[in-house]
Amino acid sequence: MYVFGSSILDVGNNNYLPGAAVGRANRRYNGIDFPASIPTGRFSNGYNIADYVAKEMGFACSPPAYLSLAPNSSSGPLVPTALATGVSYASGGAGILDSTNAGNTIPLSKQVHYFGATKAKMVAAVGPRAVDAHLSKSIFLLGIGNNDMYVFAAAELARNTSAADQRRNAAVLYVSLISNYSATISVQPSPRSGQIIHSFLFLLFSTTLILINCFGIAFDEQELYTMGARKFAIINVGLVGCVPGARVLSPVGACWGRLNELAGGFNDVLRSRLAGLTRRLPGLAYSIGDSYGFTRDTLADPQASGFADVAAACCGSGRLGGEAECFPNSTLCSDRDRHVFWDRAHLSQRTAFLVALAFYSGPGKYTVPINFMELAQSS
């Protein structure tokens, strides 16, 4: 399994990034429910979604962080690990766009570049045919986009942008995001595919057609399909307007509706785009896990899933525990399994478990067109 994404999947890459502004989770109380209560760099009280997907596939946990595997060493553990279990390139704060939290994370484009470097070393060790066969059977787990939404929405809020301008700006954002996402998975989008997405956006926002120069963006040799990836397990953007860090912006602790609308619109375009890719790329298979829908339903009926608190962070400070990150001096809840959210922006270990279970082997309500298990077992 090869993992790409943001802090919802990061298992420690950010521990190795320099700079005081880098978001890290290598301190208490993070990891308090991980074996030996070790803060591994996961933004969780224990395991995260990548861990539980990996467990469902028969692994002990998520594959290890790329930067922990001495990738610049000729004799390091990178290649044997990549061939045995896979590698995680996910990074807290990462975005689909390079500009999102630039300088303080590993953006998606660089994560894919790192995978390309990993594959080259794998090929040098065991040959191209063996590597291509291995990759074609592997799961490529992607979960990213939440940080792009946060950064964009915060900028719009700071500028006090009008509703009409928000719709136009969101359309431009979607085109950039989908262009980069598509380039990560597949070949450079064709002019025709750009027209399809643009027509969708035009209908969605009833705005004038936006020029699509950004569809020239592509990662050239770095894209995953060309490098042998065939099975994509994709987690869409969750209900990001309902995390504690977003709720504290409301005097009554309500969800940030505009941020949720932004995420929902992106998810719709992403779903349409992926359906189109399968018709163009032989052998490509995918499953979308609906994090947005799962979180929405959980918040609407928390008792059905055993939760008592859907608004506050288990670890944090200030109102709803959402005004600061989880630090060693933060307030820590005693009933961690009863909280949906671990900190101001991330799910608790138990929520991550339920999400992964729903995506891997759950009913079709939260996955399309197949679930993660069917994807893993497909030939």
Query: pLDDT tens digit string along 205-226?
Result: 333 222 222 222 233 334 899 9
Side-chain-side CA neighbours of 310 within 13 Å: the count stands at 20
For position 86, what pLDDT does the model report? 98
Max mean pLDDT range (71-85, 216-230, 272-286, 337-351): 337-351
DSSP state of 65: B
For position 193, what pLDDT does the model report? 43
Bridge partners of 142, per DSSP, are: 4, 234
For position 213, what pLDDT does the model report? 28
With beta carbons less than 8 A apart as the criterion, state whether 112 and 203 touch.
no
Across 62-71, 152-161, 239-248, 316-325, least confident range: 152-161
**Ramachandran region, residue 56 (left: φ > 0; alpha: ψ -120 to 50; beta: rest):** alpha
Confidence of residue 181 (pLDDT cuts 50, 70, 90): confident
For position 187, what pLDDT does the model report? 53
Say if residue 268's pLDDT is above 90: yes
Of 187 and 126, more confident = 126
Of 210 and 188, more confident = 188
Q: What is the mean pLDDT of the chain?
A: 89
Bridge partners of 50, per DSSP, are: none
With beta carbons less than 8 A apart as the criterion, state whether 296 and 267 touch.
no
With beta carbons less than 8 A apart as the criterion, state whether 376 and 231 touch.
yes
3-state DSSP call for residue 2? strand
Q: What percentage of the chain has pLDDT greater than the value 90?
A: 76
Say if residue 151's pLDDT is above 90: yes
CATH 3.40.50.1110 correct for 2-186+222-377: yes
Task: List all residues 6 or more positions away from 49 whose beta carbon is below 8 Å from its beta carbon.
Answer: 8, 9, 143, 235, 347, 352, 355, 356
Confidence of residue 202 (pLDDT cuts 50, 70, 90): very low
Domain range summary for the chain, segments of one domain joined by + = 2-186+222-377
Of 328 and 175, more confident = 328
Q: Which amino acid is at 218?
A: A
**Helices 349-361 and 49-56 meet at what angle, rounded to 10?**
40
Place of tokens 């894209």: 223
Place of tokens 């992926």: 274
For position 329, what pLDDT does the model report? 95
Q: What are phi and psi of 368, to 5 degrees?
A: -140, 150
